[in-house]
A and B are shown apart, each in its own frame.
Chain A
Amino acid sequence: MAKAALMDFDKALELYEPVLGFEVHVELNTETKMFSAAANPANEKNHGATPNTLVAPVDMGLPGSLPVVNETAVRYSISLGLALGCQIAPSSRFARKNYFYPDLGKNYQISQYDEPIAFEGQVEVELEGGDIVTVPIERAHMEEDAGKLTHVGGSTGRIQGAEYSLVDYNRAGVPLVEIVTKPIFGAEHRAPELAAAYVRAIRDIVIGLGISEARMERGNLRCDANVSIRPRGQEKLGTRTETKNVNSMRSVERAVRYEIQRQAAILSAGGTITQETRHWHEDTGTTSPGRPKSDADDYRYFPEPDLLPVAPSVELIESLRAALPEPPAVRRRRLNAEWGFADIDFQGVVNAGLLNEVEATVAAGAAPAAARKWWMSEISRIANAEGVEPSSLVSPASVAALQQLVDNGTLTDKLARQVLEGVIAGEGTPQEVVDARGLAVVSDDGALIAAIDEALAAQPDVLEKIRDGKVQAAGAVIGAVMKAMKGQADAARVRELVLERAAG
């Protein structure tokens, strides 16, 4: 495929204003599908099932089959709508979106069209450095996923040129919520970054609600990015493209950047943008045209006669509202204020995905700075070396208990690291490891003084040097004492005792 001409990003932003819009599909992790009792492959425990084993008649579009709405999916959708700051429709309808495609058993998709369950909301998206952008949400509506086609033969993996195609209907009927933004203005140079941050914000919300596995690599969360640009000073919006198949946050960022640069090159050369769907290619970092999309696409929507309107009671909506977790952005602001970290340190915790762990460690009694240090340094280092998640190594309660032993002088930092290794190795609680390994700091001055006397005997000139004002000479004695004590001494106390001896 011919590589499209691209304009330098900064140059493009000088000439044009980017306008973004996103359609994020969230697969809900309900037990069963949107309209059938078949097990839901988007639930962790059904992941990776053999093709076409998680199907009911309605998922296959069998004659006589009828859809029945999954009430859990409706509750999840309402919770998501509320978390997006949306209004919840007292009554909303499903519609049929009619089009022939082999991944749709019925050849229509049941979706919400003119009556979404949630509408008019906003999401606060935090950019690096803590800047907040409010993204306006137009609607969030319920629908069903389509099956999965695998095109075999041909070089592109796409339907064109394929010898045959395999269809897996496991995914057909997986409950989806599609979140549609309004046009997003003003992101300017940070438009690509905003794209990734928006998807991350949605991911944080659905994870916080526990309604989706939210794994982009599995397609639990999928983002279509609408990008248009308009010349500076022009009111009228430019023609947009819709880039699909972007399944990581980094890809979303790259795809938006690419489209801005591509469109700018076309417009500046006097060309016009084609309204179309484009496919993102992870390997080349480019987009290529898919199906032309126009407003003339006719899906012959009409109200789904097999289903009644969804009419949640006020009581249900309010109970779900009351049960909402703290919004991720609000929570981050609160924790940052409570902990008093430097922004860069706080952001580090967020980026490492260790906010929950640090919070729980603080809640278990550790000082915020100490909690951060454990998780971000020693535990992350070990996790990284072993290729596992930090949270899988040790519990926040253990980390807090460990820090407690440091705070009360039982352990030095160095000893504490050894204790941590013992805890991770499954030797028990920090106190149990301390007891079993005999790692506690020697706090008996008598034992320390004996060790100091022994060291001074080996280095008789040291006391003289200290008295002459060369206090750093104490280091040699302290080192010898620490060695003799196998590290189980408080170096600061040893230093005090050495200086007392010199003074005395």
Chain B
Amino acid sequence: MSDIIRLTAAELSAKLASGEVSSVEATRAHLDRIAAVDGDVHAFLHVSDHALDVAADIDRRRADGERLGELAGVPLAVKDVLVTTDMPSTSGSRILEGFLSPYDATPVARSRAAGLVPLGKTNMDEFAMGSSTEHSAYGPTHNPWDLDRIPGGSGGGSAAAVAAFEAPLALGSDTGGSIRQPAHVTGTVGVKPTYGGVSRYGSIALASSLDQVGPVARTVLDAALLHDVIGGHDPHDATSLEQDWPSFAAAAREGANGQALKGLRVGVIRELPDTGFQTGVAESFRASLALLEAQGAEIVEISAPHFEYGVAAYYLILPAEASSNLAKFDSVRFGLRVDVPGGTVEDVMARSRDVGFGDEVKRRIILGTYALSAGYYDAYYGSAQKVRTLIQRDFDNAFAEVDVIATPSAPTTAFRLGEQLDDPLQMYLNDVTTIPVNLAGVPGISIPSGLAAEDGLPVGIQFIAPAREDARLYRVGAALEALLVDSWGGPLLDRAPVLGANGGAR
């Protein structure tokens, strides 16, 4: 394996800046890696055929003395939920097979403008509905730690690509945990920014009031560097916040070097059930808390009594919004069209949607349509919105007492492919600690906290901060990351099995 692919984005960008490595070399190394291992991992739905041209252009511009962004020349994987002009965008669905967008999603456009080199589009649960990437219309992604296991979802492709050293950075989207839960099960870092912190323009909408695009990386600093590139106000997104954000990379560097943990008040939620969390997950979480405490942080028990209703409220709000957002996929203007000879336009729409959508998508469209129906609206959608307000209030109250809240990022380590596929409710519970963060619109980060003793699989810890305080997450995340990496004697991913060595687990 080439050394280039083991570099963090920060390390690689330093070598690019010094001229030690060219972007073409870095891009070729990652394309070679994809060619070598993606047959097993299946992180990518599409690999760019012109990434090397883009890289060469960056190298030329650098040689010309142009001032480039810190991440210029660094390869990037892009979740297929983000539309791109030069690569198909399917959102993991058959209904969008081969769809080429006439415009780039804002996070993609900003990445390109910063000189990042898009390598390809990553696999995901269809329309981001799922926690395992098994609901992709194009087959599942495999967890690089154990190819028989799920990489999380919906953004399993982005997390697996980064964990498998196929890309140093990736873009993800997180509606209920789709960045953070995959980070948890793949030993990577994922951030769900404050709602409105990153533009949603060009992110194929799942649930508009919950969706947020964010960075996927192997280190906190790398995630922060990417967040700095993609974040900030976008006039194309009316819900994007108009404010100046601090440098998240600066916050991460400060956290790794300084005294970020001294006097930090870390909230743990009293009402989070003891049951339902795998032993190794709970142990790793407690060990991280102890580490924080040892560095001068104060662990404070806080009450969030409505946290437990988050999943129920989420599975009314999300399907309701999704049922409307997905109505545009009707075969009239783009996407799959299945003709019905002699049929009406309604017949063609219905047939195309029947063939083009998978079961989980249909399940949620039906749920959402029902929840919004006249006579049921108040009981379902209306009640769910009230719960959402209560959860927001829980967070407000908690943040009056603590600086950040910590939870395990997910209840279990990576489960086996197929294990929960026939049990949607069990699948939904994977996001029990991540969902309330989306409902409240606050930022959350998942960083690797260790391996579960019982199965040797990665576990993550989630930090949650008040809205607009994303920098705090990078500061705290980087501080804990530094302690943990020290304690492990190197990055957690160094302990992942060598891919390709077993002849391919598929």
Q: Does A64 make an interface contact (CB < 8 A)?
A: yes
Q: Is the CB of A298 within 8 A of B373?
A: yes
A108-B323 Cα distance, complex, nearest whole Å: 11
Docked complex: A291-312 residues within 8 A CB-CB of B: 296, 298, 300-302, 305-308
Q: Does B420 make an interface contact (CB < 8 A)?
A: no
Nearest to A169 among chain B residues (CB) is B333
Q: Is the CB of A66 within 8 A of B101?
A: no
A contact residues around B200 at 8 Å (CB): 66
Q: Does A132 make an interface contact (CB < 8 A)?
A: no
Q: Is the CB of A298 within 8 A of B374?
A: yes
Q: Does B185 make an interface contact (CB < 8 A)?
A: no
Q: Is the CB of A64 within 8 A of B209?
A: no
Q: Is the CB of B345 within 8 A of A102?
A: yes
A62-B349 Cα distance, complex, nearest whole Å: 16
A98-B321 Cα distance, complex, nearest whole Å: 11
Q: Is the CB of A108 within 8 A of B235?
A: no
Task: Mark each residue of chain B from 330 to 355: 1 if its CB lies under 8 Å from any CB of chain A, else 0.
Answer: 10111000000000011001000000
Q: Is the CB of B201 within 8 A of A108?
A: no
CB A148 to nearest CB in B, in angstroms, measures 14
Q: Does B381 make an interface contact (CB < 8 A)?
A: yes
Q: Does A363 make an interface contact (CB < 8 A)?
A: no
Task: Mark each residue of chain A from 46 to 60: 1 if its CB lies under 8 Å from any CB of chain B, else 0.
Answer: 000000000001001
A217-B54 Cα distance, complex, nearest whole Å: 52
Q: Is the CB of B204 within 8 A of A100?
A: no
Q: Does A398 make an interface contact (CB < 8 A)?
A: no
Q: Is the CB of B324 within 8 A of A57?
A: no
B contact residues around A307 at 8 Å (CB): 238-239
A102-B330 Cα distance, complex, nearest whole Å: 9
CB B283 to nearest CB in A, in angstroms, measures 39
Q: Is the CB of B238 within 8 A of A107?
A: no
CB B500 to nearest CB in A, in angstroms, measures 35
Q: Is the CB of B201 within 8 A of A63?
A: no
Q: Does B372 make an interface contact (CB < 8 A)?
A: yes
Q: Is the CB of A98 within 8 A of B333?
A: no
Q: Is the CB of B345 within 8 A of A302?
A: no
Q: Is the CB of B238 within 8 A of A100?
A: no
B contact residues around A68 at 8 Å (CB): 235-238
Using A105-B333, A300-B369, A305-B208 as known contacts, say yes or no to A66 and B201 having CB atoms under 8 A apart. yes
Q: Is the CB of A306 within 8 A of B204?
A: no
Q: Is the CB of B105 within 8 A of A66?
A: no
What are 12 contact pairs spanning A and B, CB under 8 A?
A: A57-B102, A64-B82, A65-B202, A98-B324, A107-B327, A107-B330, A167-B332, A300-B324, A300-B372, A305-B321, A306-B208, A307-B238
A296-B238 Cα distance, complex, nearest whole Å: 33
Q: Is the CB of B209 within 8 A of A305?
A: yes
Q: Is the CB of A64 within 8 A of B202?
A: yes
A308-B208 Cα distance, complex, nearest whole Å: 12
Q: Does A317 make an interface contact (CB < 8 A)?
A: no
Q: Is the CB of B99 within 8 A of A63?
A: yes
Interface residues on A, range: 20 to 34
A contact residues around B329 at 8 Å (CB): 63
Using A64-B82, A64-B205 as known contacts, say yes or no to A69 and B327 having CB atoms under 8 A apart. no
CB B438 to nearest CB in A, in angstroms, measures 12
Nearest to B108 among chain A residues (CB) is A64
A contact residues around B205 at 8 Å (CB): 64, 66, 306
Q: Does B91 make an interface contact (CB < 8 A)?
A: yes
Q: Does B328 make an interface contact (CB < 8 A)?
A: yes
Task: Mark each residue of chain A from 89 to 109: 1 if its CB lies under 8 Å from any CB of chain B, else 0.
Answer: 000000010101010011110
Given contacts A64-B204, A68-B237, A302-B377, 5 further A-B contacts (CB under 8 A): A62-B102, A63-B99, A68-B235, A69-B238, A100-B330
CB A32 to nearest CB in B, in angstroms, measures 13
Q: Is the CB of B321 within 8 A of A106?
A: no
A contact residues around B103 at 8 Å (CB): 57, 62
CB A71 to nearest CB in B, in angstroms, measures 11
Q: Does B410 make an interface contact (CB < 8 A)?
A: no
Nearest to B105 among chain A residues (CB) is A64
A105-B325 Cα distance, complex, nearest whole Å: 11
CB A74 to nearest CB in B, in angstroms, measures 12
Total number of residue pairs linking A and B with CB closer than 8 Å: 99
A298-B101 Cα distance, complex, nearest whole Å: 32
A410-B202 Cα distance, complex, nearest whole Å: 73
CB A445 to nearest CB in B, in angstroms, measures 78
Q: Is the CB of B374 within 8 A of A62?
A: no
B contact residues around A422 at 8 Å (CB): none
A98-B374 Cα distance, complex, nearest whole Å: 12
Docked complex: A370-410 residues within 8 A CB-CB of B: none
Q: Does A245 make an interface contact (CB < 8 A)?
A: no
Complex partner residue of B346 from A62, A69, A96, A100, CB under 8 angstroms = A100
Q: Does B154 make an interface contact (CB < 8 A)?
A: no
Nearest to B93 among chain A residues (CB) is A63
Q: Does A208 make an interface contact (CB < 8 A)?
A: no
Using A64-B201, A102-B345, A105-B333 as known contacts, say yes or no to A306 and B324 having CB atoms under 8 A apart. no
Q: Which 3 A-B pairs have the closest CB atoms?
A: A107-B327, A300-B372, A305-B208
Nearest to B317 among chain A residues (CB) is A305
B contact residues around A96 at 8 Å (CB): 324
Q: Does B52 make an interface contact (CB < 8 A)?
A: no
Q: Is the CB of A106 within 8 A of B105?
A: no
Q: Is the CB of B327 within 8 A of A100?
A: yes
Complex partner residue of B91 from A57, A63, A66, CB under 8 angstroms = A63
Nearest to B90 among chain A residues (CB) is A63
Q: Does A275 make an interface contact (CB < 8 A)?
A: no
Q: Does B96 make an interface contact (CB < 8 A)?
A: yes
Q: Is the CB of B327 within 8 A of A106?
A: yes
Nearest to A165 among chain B residues (CB) is B345
CB B366 to nearest CB in A, in angstroms, measures 12
A contact residues around B239 at 8 Å (CB): 305-308
CB A423 to nearest CB in B, in angstroms, measures 51
Nearest to A96 among chain B residues (CB) is B324
B contact residues around A108 at 8 Å (CB): 324, 327
Q: Does A67 make an interface contact (CB < 8 A)?
A: yes
Residue of B201, B207, B238, B377 with most chain A CB atoms under a 10 A cut-off: B238
Nearest to B91 among chain A residues (CB) is A63
A465-B349 Cα distance, complex, nearest whole Å: 98
A contact residues around B332 at 8 Å (CB): 102, 167
Q: Does A183 make an interface contact (CB < 8 A)?
A: no
A contact residues around B105 at 8 Å (CB): 64
CB B253 to nearest CB in A, in angstroms, measures 33
Nearest to B99 among chain A residues (CB) is A63
CB A185 to nearest CB in B, in angstroms, measures 29
Q: Is the CB of B349 within 8 A of A100?
A: yes
Q: Is the CB of A63 within 8 A of B208?
A: no
Q: Is the CB of A308 within 8 A of B345?
A: no
A contact residues around B372 at 8 Å (CB): 98, 300-302
Nearest to B329 among chain A residues (CB) is A63
CB A479 to nearest CB in B, in angstroms, measures 78
A64-B109 Cα distance, complex, nearest whole Å: 13
B contact residues around A63 at 8 Å (CB): 83, 89, 91, 96, 99, 101, 204, 328-329, 334
Q: Does A61 make an interface contact (CB < 8 A)?
A: yes
